């Protein structure tokens, strides 16, 4: 059966014509092979002049031999809507006419257009709800704030009337964007290996560390996406440094870090902050095993994979109050998004007892997101959709 996956993305195409994305990679699309032997991807493509072949080692590769990439123009801006919407509509109509069903990821402008086109040609579709458009746009820019109510209204309408909806959260997105169709809460996280050895590694670190030693904090996220919130961690570290409390901060992730380096310079944190760049998954885990505290400081999220991965390494974790993060962590380790003051207060209070207790709790919680468990639930949901709408 032919399937079309629709989403804004973007993914990147390097100078060799190969496709790359940290999340939308071949490993992620593998899940759809349980319901389709012909997977096509309608998505925005950002062309870059660099050679990204080294990123294959990090698993960020999207094989054009396995998947047909259908490049859609950018309709995620006011200018893009006026200039490119007609072209995007024609591309989607051409593809949707010739497929059996769609998996549509929202929020996305390409996704919204795909829903409309699927209805026009009476093609079955399933929606994957992966984030909150209100949070994403409101925290993006002034233009985003103007567009947030419109996108939220459209998304709510599409979700409400969708026959099948897969949410990546347990409660958050379901409450904000309810559906009259069949639904499931199933994270998009992929944890291949949750090993009890991770607890032993963490216990050994507790033994080696002294109570008043400098603690290492880490965040895994793109360093050029402002809503990921690393600057609030930098502000919190500066606050604590003024109080004589020292932390080291490791930033793992791809992108232009010049925006964050300005804050590092402003707060005189050059000795405390390390930009480690993008790393293969196994190396990310190795780094996390040498970290004391993980922070997810985002201003908007669905259910962050990086946070759950950190929990699987038996780390004490702190997160902002957004998306599905409060579903994962205890209340006392949650701070209001954008509040470096609250974050500093949490960091200041953390002691060895907290770290030992949260180490075990987070590790056990991460088991709920084991790949085999989630794959089974997700694929059952996909297959029910196929039986009810496609086979019929």
Examine residue 213 and say whether the peptide bond preceding it is cis (omega within 30 degrees of 0). no
Q: State whether CATH 3.40.190.10 applies to domain 2-190+371-390.
A: no
Element of type H or E holding 109:
helix 109-120
The pLDDT, as a whole number, for residue 56 is: 76
DSSP state of 36: -
Task: List the structure tokens of 224.
Answer: 């050029």
DSSP readout, 130-185? -S-HHHHHHTT-HHHHHHHHHHHHHHHHHHHH-SEEEESSSSHHHHHS--SSEEEE
Cα separation, 370 vs 227, whole angstroms: 27
User: For the chain (length 392 residues), average pLDDT per consecutive 10?
Assistant: 96 93 89 96 94 78 93 90 94 97 97 97 97 86 85 96 95 96 89 80 80 85 92 96 92 93 96 92 90 95 90 96 93 95 95 91 91 90 94 78
Q: Output the six-digit token pair for 286.
A: 């190795």
- pLDDT value, residue 211: 60
pTM for this one? 0.84
Name residue, tokens 């599905």. 324
CA atoms within 13 Å, Cβ hemisphere of 313: 23
Helix (H, G, I), strand (E, B) or coil at 61: strand
Interacting residues of 90 by C-beta distance below 8 A, sequence separation 6+: none
Domain 2-190+371-390 and domain 197-368 have a common topology: yes
Alpha-carbon gap, residue 52 to 65, rounded angstroms: 17
Domain ranges for the chain, please list them.
Answer: 2-190+371-390, 197-368
What CATH fold (topology level) applies to the domain 197-368? Rossmann fold (3.40.50)
The sign of the CA dihedral 303, 237, 138, 81 is: negative
pLDDT for 188: 83
Give 268: exposed, middle or buried? Use CB within 10 Å, 0-12, 13-18, 19+. Answer: exposed
> How far, rounded to the nearest angstrom, does the alpha carbon of residue 380 sit from its chain's CA centroid?
23
Q: How far is CA 110 from the centre of its chain?
A: 18
């Amino acid at each position: 059966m032919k399937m079309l996956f629709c989403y804004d993305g973007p993914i990147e195409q390097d100078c060799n014509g190969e496709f790359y994305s940290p999340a939308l990679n071949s490993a992620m699309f593998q899940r759809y092979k349980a319901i389709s032997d012909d997977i096509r991807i309608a998505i925005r493509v950002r062309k870059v002049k660099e050679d990204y072949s080294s990123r294959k080692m990090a698993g960020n590769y999207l094989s054009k031999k396995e998947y047909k990439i259908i490049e859609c123009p950018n309709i995620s801006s006011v200018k893009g809507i006026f200039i490119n919407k007609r072209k995007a509509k024609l591309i989607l109509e051409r593809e949707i006419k010739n497929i059996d069903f769609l998996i549509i990821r929202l929020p996305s402008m390409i996704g919204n257009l795909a829903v409309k086109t699927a209805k026009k040609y009476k093609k079955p579709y399933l929606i994957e709800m992966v984030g909150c458009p209100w949070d994403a746009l409101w925290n993006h820019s002034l233009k985003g704030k103007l567009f947030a109510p419109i996108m939220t209204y459209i998304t709510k309408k599409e979700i409400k009337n969708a026959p099948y909806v897969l949410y990546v959260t347990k409660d958050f997105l379901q409450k904000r964007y309810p559906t009259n169709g069949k639904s499931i809460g199933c994270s998009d996280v992929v944890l291949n290996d949750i090993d009890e050895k991770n607890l032993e590694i963490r216990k050994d670190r507790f033994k080696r560390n002294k109570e008043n030693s400098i603690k290492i904090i880490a965040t895994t996220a793109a360093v050029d996406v402002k809503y990921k919130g690393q600057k609030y961690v930098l502000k919190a570290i500066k606050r604590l440094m003024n109080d004589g409390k020292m932390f080291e901060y490791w930033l793992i992730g791809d992108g232009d870090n010049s925006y964050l380096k300005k804050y590092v310079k402003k707060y005189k944190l050059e000795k405390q902050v390390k930009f480690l760049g993008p790393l293969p998954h196994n190396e990310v885990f190795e780094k996390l095993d040498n970290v004391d505290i993980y922070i997810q400081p985002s201003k908007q999220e669905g259910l962050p994979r990086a946070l759950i991965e950190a929990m699987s390494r038996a780390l004490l974790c702190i997160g902002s109050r957004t998306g599905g993060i409060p579903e994962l962590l205890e209340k006392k380790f949650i701070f209001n998004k954008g509040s470096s003051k609250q974050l500093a207060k949490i960091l200041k209070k953390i002691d060895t007892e907290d770290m030992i207790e949260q180490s075990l709790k987070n590790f056990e919680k991460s088991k709920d997101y084991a790949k085999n468990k989630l794959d089974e639930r997700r694929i059952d949901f996909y297959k029910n959709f196929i039986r009810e709408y496609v086979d019929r």
